[in-house]
Copies of this chain bind each other. A is one copy, B any other.
Amino acid sequence: MSAEPIAESSDGPLAVPQDRHGLPIIYAPRGYRWQTDAAPRTREPKAAEVTASRIVDDIIEGRVHVGEKLPTEPEMLERYEVSRETLREALRLLEIQGIIDIKRGPGGGPFVAPLNSGYLARTSSLYFHLAGATHAELFQTWAILEPTLAELVAQQPDRKGKRKAFAPYIDYDPQAHQSDELFTDFNNFHSLIAELSGNRVLTLVTQSVTHVVVENVLSAVDPVAEASMLSHSHEDIAIAIVDGRATKARKLMAEHIHEVRDTYLSRSPDQGMTTVEWRL
């Protein structure tokens, strides 16, 4: 048991800096029956949000599918019984969250988009940015989530399915790939593990943290220069997961994240104290 190596004590290299920037974070869930009136809480939803939520329900209930166009404006105005302004704001809200894709021009209109964890990442990074969170804190969070996921997937009994899913990472030859393929393959390794966990909350939370790590941090690490290190680590982790060796998978993943972090920080240790950006 005991601490993951990355979950260092506060005097480790990932220590939280003394000069903290950013806004304080408030936590105030609504308890319904037991809510105190004094507590700060999220404001009442606006009409546009309620309408957006009804459109989302129609997507979930399969009345309109991914890739399909939503009904016409007059049809939606009749269905949701709101003003044109409210409906348009609802659609803008869903567009901002990546739930629909508004295509311009003839044949255009609002289409249902696939669920892209990049949009949750985008919103999450707004809050990380406002809180003043650093790259070091981002890495530490990633280092907590990824080994747990590797362990969970290793525990899954479907050995055959896992062998098939991880086949591309076993005997991976970096020389045989273009740099953009390397980047995609290396990243997909982590999203594949998140997906195979079978837990969609964990998948979304981890993928959005990974997204922010990649966009803030790893886009500065050259996958070609690191290809040999990355492909060997991925192969070892993949084998441990397929073989159902949960403890080993967890340990190898923790070491892998350490290695990636150290490679990043070796260029300049100060980067760990850089504030996470809100990447639009």
Contacts and interface: CB of A to CB of B under 8 A. Distances in A.
A75 to B, nearest CB: 22
A82 to B, nearest CB: 15
Given A9-B155, A115-B23, A200-B133, A50 B141 contact: no
A118 B137 CA distance: 20
Contact of A157 (B10, B122, B247, B278): B10
A105 interface: no
5 contacts: A29-B187, A34-B182, A35-B183, A43-B98, A120-B123
A9 B197 CA distance: 10
The interface residues of chain A, by DSSP majority, are classed as: helix
Number of this chain's copies in the assembly equals 2
Interface stretch (A144-152, A165-173, A262-270): A144-152
A231 interface: no
A23 B64 CA distance: 12
B204 A16 contact: no
Contacts of A155: 3, 7, 9-10
Kindly list the 7 A-B residue pairs having the minimum CB-CB distance in the complex, ordered from nearest: A45-B280, A34-B183, A27-B191, A133-B200, A16-B198, A29-B214, A23-B115
Contacts of A120: 123-124, 127
A211 interface: yes
Contact of A201 (B35, B98, B137): B137
Nearest to A149: B144
Contact of A198 (B10, B129, B278): B10
B97 A31 contact: no
Given A3-B151, A205-B209, A199 B128 contact: no
